[in-house]
Amino acid sequence: MVLSQKGNKYYVQPEKGKVLLDAALKQSQDVDYKCRKGTCGKCAVTVESGKDWLMPPSEREQSRLKEQVNKGVRLACQAVTR
One digit per residue, pLDDT tens: the chain, 82 residues? Answer: 999 999 999 999 999 999 999 999 999 999 999 999 999 999 999 999 999 999 999 898 999 999 999 999 999 999 999 9
Rounded (to 5) percent helix, strand, coil in the chain: 30, 25, 45
Size of the chain in residues: 82
The CA distance from 16 to 68, in Å, is 24
Contact 75, 40 (CB under 8 A): no
pTM of the model as a whole: 0.94
Tell me how far apart the alpha carbons of residues 59 and 29 are, in angstroms, rounded to a whole number: 26
Q: Residue 77 in contact with residue 36, Cβ under 8 Å?
A: yes
